Each structure stands twice: as C-alpha cells, then as structure tokens.
Structure 1
Amino acid sequence: MKTVNNNDGTPDKATAAGKPDLRVGFILLNQFTLIPVSGLVESLRFAADISFRSQQIYCQWDFMTWDNLPVAASCGLPVSPTCALNNLLSYDYIALAGGMLEETRHPPDALLQLLQELRGQNRPIISLCSASFVLAKAGLLDGRKAAIHFTIRDEFMQRFPKVTAIAEDSFVDDDGIITCPGGLAIDLATHIIRKHCGEIRAQKALKYLLEGAVLEKPPLHAPQTPPHVYQNQIVSKAIAFMRDNLSAATSLTAVAEYAGTSTRQLHRAFLSNTHLPPAHYWRKLRLEQARKKLADSSAHVTSIALECGFADASHFIAWFRKQYGETPAAYRKRRHAVERLNG
C-alpha cells in the first residue's frame, strides 16, 4: 500500500492500520468545476478517520491530470497533480472532473482510449459536471442513463442521442458508470462511502458537512432511479429479487422464474450486462451486505454469514478473503486498531 505522510514528514497511521476501504483517483481536466470535486473529497476526508485529523485511513485519494501537467479550476485556482497518471487499477473509482465545456467537448484521443481501457477492466468511473461529455465521446454512455446538468442537457442530447439524459437526479449509477451533474456531490459521496466503509462512516461525513444533520432517510435530492440502472429488464428484475433474498437459500431457477426467463437466458443476460454470471453477482451482493454488517455491528461472524445467505462461516470467510484480500476477523481487527490509534 502507498505510504501516506503527514505534513511533518512522519508516516501516517494509515500505514500501520492496513489498506483503506475506499480509494478514489481524481483526474482533473483543465477548467474543472471546484465544487463537486470539493464535495466528494471533503466527504472522503471526514469519513477517512475516527477523529478530525484528515488522515487517509479508511479512505484515500489522489489528484492526477491526463497529461501529468498542472491545471486550473474554472475559478482560476491552479492545481498540480499529487501523483502521476499510473496504477489506475489500484483505485476503487476513477473520478473524471470536468467543468468548462470548451475543455470537455473535444477531449484528447489519449484520454478517451484510457477511459475505454479502464472500462474494459470493469473499473467504476465517475464523471463530475461536464465530464459526462468525455464519457459519452468515449462511447461509455451509449444505451445508458446519465445525470446531466439542466444547463447543458440540450446540447448533450443533441450530441449524444444514444444516451438517456436525466436532469432531475443528483447522480446516476448505471452499472459502474456514475454521472454526477455537479453541485456538492454529497449524495454521490454518501453512496460510495456507505457501500465501501459502512453506514457509520457515511453518517460521520454527512454530520459535519451538513451542519450536524444526521439523515435518517434519503437526502432531498437523492436519485429517483435505483443506484444501479440496467437497460435489460431481465437483469433488473433478477437483481431486485436477489437483493430481497440475500439471506434465503434460493436457487437461480427461482430467480429466473421471477424474471420471466430460463436459467440459460438469465446467465447470458448477466454476462452481457454485468460481466458476471448471476451466481457470482448474487454472491457479490451478499459479500457487500456482510461487509456492511461487520462495519456497523458487533454481531458474530457466523451470524453474519448465515444472515447473508452463506451456508456456514468457513464458506463465508473463504469468499470474503478472495473478494477483499483479508478475513472478516482481520477486517474488524484493523478497524478496531484504527479506533485505538485515534482514541
């Protein structure tokens, strides 16, 4: 893991605590809009440690540019990259930050190729503000829904008729292609922090960014579309069934029947839309749910395993280690170690 240093040159406690739960690599385009980048990274900062020392423990981030040269925000603030544009697959998300349309209408071919390669590796990509123009130019939004700012929606629709442009939502996550039209991007930040770091970390960020208001229900401008939007109705119906039956020992035959198809067609639809067989996708949902329970409760590992549809604890531990690179016990121990360090 990359060592994060404090301002005085000493190693950050993140090094001792182990790898972070969430890593975001920002690629800043020239004339990018500062507010959505700030909203996203400040949310990560508050969720990143127990205290308020801005230590990159649970969350880490870097700022890059596509050509490794300094850029300026749309307000004129000069920004230099904090690292070179490399090792992009080490990040959980790549966030492309756009702003002034002159810089995003005609993106360089090298950047388009880079984004296509990242998508080919199934890496989630976030577009902030007008960076949606770049994703669309790369063909990554064809046949998808995208959240577009109302001021540029007409031009976007004219240029990219294969994309369903939505102006009402604060973000849309369509199978790992996430579009955010701008604003504070706090809804988006909460979504990915909750997914990777758990409810406690998400609420910590919300509490201090929204003047102490801990939300018990979705934000006012939360997306009206589901977090993951699939054009294929079979896949959408099947995933809804899977989410409602995470703890049940239900067969794929039952999933296929609910979706109104055969198991063979279900398999083909999932491979085409999610790049995973349905059984693997269902297991991924169960592991995500289990990870949240590990972070947000003190329940025994065996209980969590059974609640999330695994046959036994050993089966759950094996898959958890394969997915996240550590055992459930190690994951919890690491979190407790961080809390003691920051206590």
Structure 2
Amino acid sequence: MNSPAKLRVGFILGRSFTLSAFALFIDTLRLASDELDRSGRVSADWHVLASSKNPVKSSCGVQVVPTSGFVDPAHFSHIVVVGGLLNVEEPVDAETTRYLRRAAAANVPLIGLCTGTFILADAGLMKNHECCVSWLHARDFQDRFPDHVVRSDRIFHLDENRGSCAGGSSAADMAALIVRSHISEDAERNALEVLQIDHARSPFHLQARRTFADEAEDVRIKATLLAMEQHINDRIPITQLARQVGVSRRQLERLFKEKAGMSPANAYKRVRLIHAKALVANTDASMLEIALEAGFESASHFARTFKKFHGQSPSELRTAAIHI
C-alpha cells in the first residue's frame, strides 16, 4: 500500500468491539471519500488491521474480517482502536500492542473509540492526554488509570497525537471533524446528508445522560442533587449538603418536601438506585461490586432496596437486559 496524500485510516478492532461505533466512523469516511453514495475511495482509504486474518467478533456477534496485516503505521493519517465490552480479557494481543507503540513512536495519531481508550491506556499511550470516555465507564477508567486525566461529560476529544471518543453516535461526529480537517467541508456535508445527520456536534457537546437533577427547577435542589450524583458511593451527610447550598438542614428538608415531594435522604437513595440500575443493566460487575458502588453496605440490603424501588431484583433486571 502506497501512501497518497489523502486521508487514510487504519482500524484495530478489540475482541467484542462495539459495532455501531465502528460502522458510523467508517461509513462517515466512505461517504466523505466520494460524491453522493458511490463509495469510491477517492479522498480517503481505510483498512482493518490485525495480527492475523481471523475474523473479530463484535459484542453483538457480527464478525469482521481484517483486510490488512500490520504494515508500516506511517502509511496512515490515523489509527483508530475500537473497544467494546470491558469484561473481555486481553481485548488485543501482544503483537497488536507492540504495533500501537510503534505507531505512537512514529507520531501517527491514535484514537480510542468507545472503550478503545482503555486499550491505548493499557499500552501506556494515553498519559498526558485528556481521555474522554462514556459516563458509564468513567469510574472503571479512574480506578484502572488513576494517574490519567479523564472526563465523561464531553462526547469526544481530539488533539494532534491522540483522540478519545465516548462511542455510539459520537463516532460519526469525531469522524466528521477529521473529514472536515483533512478533506473538505463539502465532503463532510455529503457524508452527513447521506447518513441523515443534520449537523456534526462539536467536541464540547455534552454526553446524553438524563440525570435526576434535570427534573429540578429550584437551583438549590438542582445543586444538591448534582452533589449527590458526584458522591454516590462516598455519601456525604445531609447537613453538609445543606451547608453547600447555603441553607440549614431543616430548610433543605422543607424545600425538598415542597418542591420535590420527598426528603433529601429519599432523593439521595433514588439517585443511588438509578445509578445502580444502569450498572446492573449495562455492565458485568458483580452485585456486591454494584452495591458498594451505589453506597450500600451489603449485597442483600442492596437487593431488597433495589427490588422495592424498581419492582424487580437486580438479577431479574440483568437477565431481562441480556435477552433484549
């Protein structure tokens, strides 16, 4: 493969990678590379790189066959690592990790898509770079890489040498920015129009996450709820929460009863249980791990409280989520 002066992207797929993020990113390149929907590789080219020709299975079971071995990384404008399920041991092999380090040494920009940022961080390639991950995986990232800068509010981050993306539809937004920078605004517009996307969101767009605080109208209640969401497993006393918004505990309790129809303590419990539901449905963490993450002292107390609030036990919810 020669290296013409056009956008050229290499993809590395982790085991159980997220198909939607990969598809949206690569289709944005495909549609930007030619006019209308002709799919010619005029302005861009792409390859799925791997250490072998074996198909790589996505988290939904669809498999993708690599199109190239590990050629000189300098052939590529960017190398994009697509991650997926976090419970997969060794999502990439040692040869792939060595190739990524070789690419970094050659100053080829590396991008972590979805949990691909975890793969790059595991390889020691995300230090001193801002890491954008989904809010769902932010705590896992902080625990595994405590010396890294991580944020889970924005949809993606891109600098000269590294990129990271929360995944999902934001993969198209990141790809669109790269297309605009390397090809043209017309190419970006063509891709987005065919994909039926009105416009590309900027890196500063907030991740889609409806929180309990969004429902509050009173600014003091909103501030209190946001503080609760930021301190789920290390709960802070109601008195301290009241002090932070400039009222007494009794005033805060009266305010919550009038405006929210519940006490601050019950609101705190609701915040924790909503967070726990997302972890049960979308992660493989054990029930004890989730109980502790949600601020409960035992799995049994957590299970009883969870069922009373959500109408089904954590295990029932997880079983139903698996079969959706």
Is this a same-fold pair by TM over 0.5?
A: yes
The separation in 1 between residues aligned to 2:5 and 2:54, in whole angstroms, is 27
Given candidates 179, 183, 187, the residue that maps to 1:197 is 183
Aligned amino acid, residue 191 of structure 1: L
Q: Is contact 1:32–1:97 with CA below 8 Å preserved after alignment?
A: yes
Tell me the residue number matched to 1:5: none
Summarize the alignment of residues 167-316 of structure 1 with structure 2, pairs less than 5 Å apart: 167-184=152-169, 185-211=171-197, 213=198, 215=199, 219=201, 222-224=202-204
Structure 1 equivalent of residue 35 of structure 2: 50
| Per-residue deviation, residues 57-80 of structure 1 (Å, max 9, x unmatched) | 111111122444221111101221
Note if contact 2:157-2:165 (Cα within 8 Å) is conserved in structure 1: yes
- Aligned partner of 1:117 in structure 2 is 102
Alignment deviations for residues 85-144 of structure 1 (CA, whole Å, 9 cap, x no partner):
223221111111110113366643332222111111100111111111111111111122
CA contact (8 A) 2:16 2:83 kept: yes
- The aligned counterpart of 2:131 is 146
Structure 1 runs (4+) deviating above 6 angstroms are: none
Assess if the C-alpha contact under 8 Å between 2:36 and 2:194 holds in 1: no
Q: Compute the RMSD of aligned alpha carbons.
A: 2.1
- The residue that corresponds to 2:85 in the other structure is 100
Cα distance in structure 2, aligned partners of 1:53 and 1:199: 18
Shift of the alpha carbon at 1:157? Answer: 0.3
Tell me, in whole angstroms, the C-alpha distance in 1 between the residues paired with 2:5 and 2:149.
35
Relative to the length of structure 2, the TM-score reads 0.59
Q: Does 1:37 align with 2:17?
A: no
Seq. identity, %: 30
Q: In structure 1, the residue corresponding to 2:131 is in which secondary structure? A: strand
Aligned to 2:270: none
1:251 maps to which residue? none
Pair member with larger Rg? 2
What amino acid sits opposite 2:194 in the alignment?
Y
Structure 2 stretches lacking a partner, 5+ long? 206-324
Contact 1:100 1:130 in 2 (8 A): yes
- Which of 46, 57, 77 aligns to 2:62? It is 77
**SS in structure 2 opposite 1:25?**
strand
Q: Output the CA distance in 2 between the equivalents of 1:94 and 1:190.
A: 15
Tell me the residue number matched to 1:131: 116
Q: Which residue identity is paired with 2:9?
A: V
CA contact (8 A) 1:104 1:133 kept: no
Per-residue deviation, residues 242-267 of structure 1 (Å, max 9, x unmatched):
xxxxxxxxxxxxxxxxxxxxxxxxxx
8 Å Cα contact 1:32-1:72 kept in structure 2: yes
Distance 1:104 1:35, change over 3 A: farther
Cα offset for 1:189?
Answer: 0.7
Look up the SS of the partner of 1:103 in the other structure: coil
Question: 1:197, 1:78 → 2: CA distance?
Answer: 30
Q: Distance in 2 between matches of 1:20 and 1:96?
A: 22
8 Å contact kept, 1:98–1:127: yes
2:150 pairs, out of 165, 173, 191, with 165
Distance between the aligned counterparts of 2:46 and 2:155, measured in 1? Answer: 22
Q: Tell me, yes or no, if the aligned pair for 2:28 and 2:192 is still in contact at 8 Å.
A: yes
Change (3 A) 1:173 1:104: farther
TM-score for the superposition, normalised by structure 1? 0.56
Q: In structure 2, do the counterparts of structure 1 residues 106 and 73 end up closer, same or farther at CA, with 3 Å as the change threshold?
A: closer
1:199 aligned partner, one-letter code: E
Where does the alignment leave 5 or more consecutive residues of structure 1 unmatched? Answer: 3-17, 226-343
The answer to whether the 8 A contact 1:96-1:131 is kept is: yes
For residues 81 and 20 of structure 1, the distance between their equivalents in structure 2, rounded to whole angstroms, comes to 23
Contact 1:104 1:130 (C-alpha < 8 Å) held by counterparts? no
Give the letter aligned to residue 153 of structure 1.
A
- Deviates most, 98-107 or 73-82: 98-107
Q: Is the 8 A contact 1:146 1:164 kept in 2?
A: yes
Change in CA separation of 1:141 and 1:76 when aligned onto 2, cut-off 3 Å? same
Once the two structures are superposed, residues 175-221 of structure 1 have per-residue CA deviations (whole angstroms, 9 ceiling, x without a partner) of: 3211112112111011100111011111111122135x3x4xx62xx
